[in-house]
Chains A and B, each alone.
Chain A
Amino acid sequence: MTPTSIRGQVRRFGDNVTTDDVIAGKYKHETISLDQLAPHVMENIRPGFYEEIDPGDIIVGGRNFGCGSSREQAPALIKHVGIPVVIAESFARIFYRNAINIGLALLECPTLGIEEGDLLEYDPARDRLTVAQRGIELTSTPLPEEIRAIVDAGGLLAYVKQEGSL
């Protein structure tokens, strides 16, 4: 199910973006509906983000993206509002795992020099990422094999249904 080539506008964030930043605790304790949570995405660190973005935009962060609480609504909401991939220098463990489980693509590679509004292209077949206007061309670290199997199945739940167990 690896996605075809992705092109999108960069939405830039810094280091240590937390899952509280992505979706505040007070909202997710009231509903599990992603439609109801969507308008509050990134509200704690970038109010109005939901209104700014267009489907296909790409989030680019720095180190330790997605740290803090294990709420799976964080990667699920990013995917739900139409963002196909998150690129960061490194991801916090639980966010990385949750993103794989729910089918949100993540890329770990240096992001210095990539700016808000840049046009970014990612070719999953060659794990290649380019930002033409910055002359940036990078290859991202490919997923470990056992994680590739879960992503290719469409996430952990699809994988467990397909395999019958774990």
Chain B
Amino acid sequence: MAQAARTTAEKIIAAHAGADVSAGAAVRVDVDLVMATDGNAPLAIELLKRELGAEEAEIDGSRIVLVIDHCAPAPNAGAANMQVAMRRFAAACGARIYDAGSGISHVVLPEQGDVLPGMLVLGSDSHTVTYGALNCLGIGMGSTDIAVAMRTGRTWLRVPETIKVWLSGQLQETASAKDAVLALVREIGVDGATYACLEFDGDGLESLSMEERLTFANMSIEMGAKCALMPVDGVCREWLGQRVKEPPAGEWSDPGCSFAAELELDLGAVRPMVARPHDLTEITELDGAEGTPIDIAFIGTCTNGRLSDLRRAAKVLAGRQVAPGVQLIVSPGSRQVLAGALSEGLIESLVAAGALITTPGCGPCVGTHQGVPGDGHTLITTANRNFRGRMGNREASIFVASPEVVARSALAGVVTGAVPTGQASER
């Protein structure tokens, strides 16, 4: 009896379950890699000892990687002590650790070739879905699941349905991948893809660089998706080839497999977008000056903190000055991104424009440090979330947009998509 036609998610899960599986089934699978950050690793390490009675040295650290990125370097003793526990755990079980300053997990792991096509990776962070851009099934989980996976090398899963997203056309010069994924969040809705896998395909994909694809996959969790997946095409193979000798071929869905839904996104029709405070249910085109005065502009995060993001922001800011009273905070996504930005003179032009550069890491994204807003403050950020209180103060309001829109708003002092007028001073 011929094998039934399966989606990419079904095929990757089947390979890790050692059996053919179909959407809806509950299965136990082997996990290739468990990633945990200083966001949720400390609780997982505590549960391993307290609940599972596992000595740290008993744990097989070869399939574990820890990352210190949310509070890097530690802003208070509580965070510092949790990081001490992470370093001790890594040393005891032989797990790798990207310590403070290495960068954000979802920038560093793809960048360093730790997540590869066909792998099944669990992360202690909901944006683990980012790895789908590399045909790697990345799933976000809580500390208990992470502790169990660290201890047993396995987890339990319900095989997801798949929603096929056909990308067509090409982004115009005035629009970016962030605008496109915001348009998709608006179309699918914040819970439209709950439990599902978002499988991206179509000729529009070929026009997107790997960094643009990582931005796309990163925000699939904002639609509720369990995971995102993209094919291993020429662009992906070339990128992987710079990182690992023989990149795995990965998986792709069989012709004739069944999708829960299919939809199309014409990249050519995408225009600059903005998500308004306090969640992603209000996303609109941003045609001219929108007008709301801003106090903080933040460029970075696992969504838009990569080198191409800093390039696009620096291009807008070159030779100009951030509006008086506005703090422009820039957090390079990793040490490698920072080094690249230095060598290309991006940091120089950002600093000349008035930017505050932080340690590579999450920066002020989750409200722990490096840019907590004041009461009544308005922020515009390239992050993926603007929930009330997200950046550390419930009395502040947060807009979400692309690096260009955030840079333009920092210059104008108001939320705007308008290109700055007047001559950039030739310094």
Which residues of A are at the interface with B, using a C-beta cutoff of 8 A? 16, 18, 20-21, 24-26, 28-32, 43-45, 47, 63-64, 67-73, 90, 92-94, 97-98, 101-102, 144-147, 150, 155-158, 160-161, 165-166
Contacts of B156 in A (CB 8 A): 146, 150, 166
B38 at the interface (CB under 8 A from A): yes
Interface pair B191/A68, CB less than 8 Å apart: no
In the bound complex, CA of A138 to CA of B126 (Å):
32
Interface pair B142/A72, CB less than 8 Å apart: yes
- Some 30 contacts from A to B, beta carbons below 8 A apart, are A20-B385, A20-B387, A21-B387, A24-B389, A25-B39, A25-B390, A25-B392, A26-B372, A29-B70, A32-B46, A47-B394, A64-B194, A67-B224, A70-B142, A72-B40, A72-B43, A72-B143, A94-B140, A97-B145, A101-B142, A101-B145, A146-B26, A156-B145, A157-B47, A157-B144, A160-B152, A161-B51, A161-B53, A165-B152, A166-B152
Which residues of B are at the interface with A, using a C-beta cutoff of 8 A? 26, 28, 38-40, 42-43, 46-47, 51-53, 70-71, 76, 78-79, 82, 124-126, 140-145, 147-148, 151-152, 154-156, 158, 190-191, 194-195, 224, 226, 279, 281, 366-368, 372, 385, 387-390, 392, 394
| Complex A-B, nearest 9 residue pairs according to Cβ-Cβ distance, in ascending order | A72-B142, A44-B389, A30-B78, A25-B366, A98-B142, A64-B191, A101-B144, A146-B26, A157-B51
Given the interface pairs A25-B390, A29-B39, A90-B191, the reply to whether A160 lies near B126 with Cβ below 8 Å is: no
Contacts of B124 in A (CB 8 A): 70
Interface pair B389/A43, CB less than 8 Å apart: yes
In the bound complex, CA of A166 to CA of B142 (Å):
17
Interface pair A29/B71, CB less than 8 Å apart: yes
Interface pair A160/B148, CB less than 8 Å apart: yes
B303 CB to closest chain A CB (Å) equals: 14
Contacts of A158 in B (CB 8 A): 51
Which of A20, A71, A102, A157 contacts B39, CB < 8 Å? A71
Residue on B with the closest CB to A65? B191
Residue on B with the closest CB to A31? B78
Residue on A with the closest CB to B77? A30
**Known contacts A90-B194, A94-B142, A161-B53; 20 further A-B pairs (Cβ under 8 A):** A16-B281, A29-B39, A29-B79, A29-B366, A32-B42, A43-B394, A63-B191, A67-B224, A68-B387, A70-B40, A70-B125, A92-B194, A94-B140, A98-B145, A101-B142, A101-B144, A160-B151, A166-B148, A166-B154, A166-B155
In the bound complex, CA of A92 to CA of B144 (Å):
17
Contacts of A72 in B (CB 8 A): 40, 43, 142-144
Contacts of A98 in B (CB 8 A): 141-142, 144-145
Most chain A CB within a 10 A radius of its CB, from B26, B78, B392: B78
Contacts of B281 in A (CB 8 A): 16
In the bound complex, CA of A127 to CA of B385 (Å):
35
Interface pair B392/A26, CB less than 8 Å apart: yes
In the bound complex, CA of A165 to CA of B39 (Å):
26
Interface pair B52/A94, CB less than 8 Å apart: no
Given the interface pairs A20-B389, A24-B389, A156-B148, the reply to whether A97 lies near B372 with Cβ below 8 Å is: no
Interface pair A161/B52, CB less than 8 Å apart: yes
Contacts of B367 in A (CB 8 A): 24-26
Interface pair A93/B224, CB less than 8 Å apart: yes
Given the interface pairs A26-B392, A92-B191, the reply to whether A64 lies near B125 with Cβ below 8 Å is: no
A159 CB to closest chain B CB (Å) equals: 9
Given the interface pairs A64-B224, A67-B190, A166-B152, the reply to whether A94 lies near B126 with Cβ below 8 Å is: yes
A166 CB to closest chain B CB (Å) equals: 5
Contacts of B388 in A (CB 8 A): 20-21, 44-45
Residue on A with the closest CB to B367? A26
Interface pair A156/B144, CB less than 8 Å apart: yes
Interface pair B148/A44, CB less than 8 Å apart: no
In the bound complex, CA of A161 to CA of B140 (Å):
23
Interface pair B279/A18, CB less than 8 Å apart: yes
Which of B82, B140, B147 contacts A70, CB < 8 Å? B140
Most chain A CB within a 10 A radius of its CB, from B38, B143, B224: B143
Contacts of B368 in A (CB 8 A): 25-26, 29
Interface pair A69/B126, CB less than 8 Å apart: yes
B310 CB to closest chain A CB (Å) equals: 24
Contacts of A24 in B (CB 8 A): 367, 389, 392, 394
In the bound complex, CA of A26 to CA of B388 (Å):
13
Given the interface pairs A102-B144, A157-B51, A160-B52, the reply to whether A165 lies near B389 with Cβ below 8 Å is: no
Most chain A CB within a 10 A radius of its CB, from B70, B140, B141, B387: B387
Contacts of A69 in B (CB 8 A): 39, 125-126, 366
Contacts of A26 in B (CB 8 A): 366-368, 372, 392
Interface pair A71/B144, CB less than 8 Å apart: no
Given the interface pairs A44-B389, A93-B195, the reply to whether A70 lies near B144 with Cβ below 8 Å is: no
B193 CB to closest chain A CB (Å) equals: 10
Interface pair A155/B144, CB less than 8 Å apart: yes
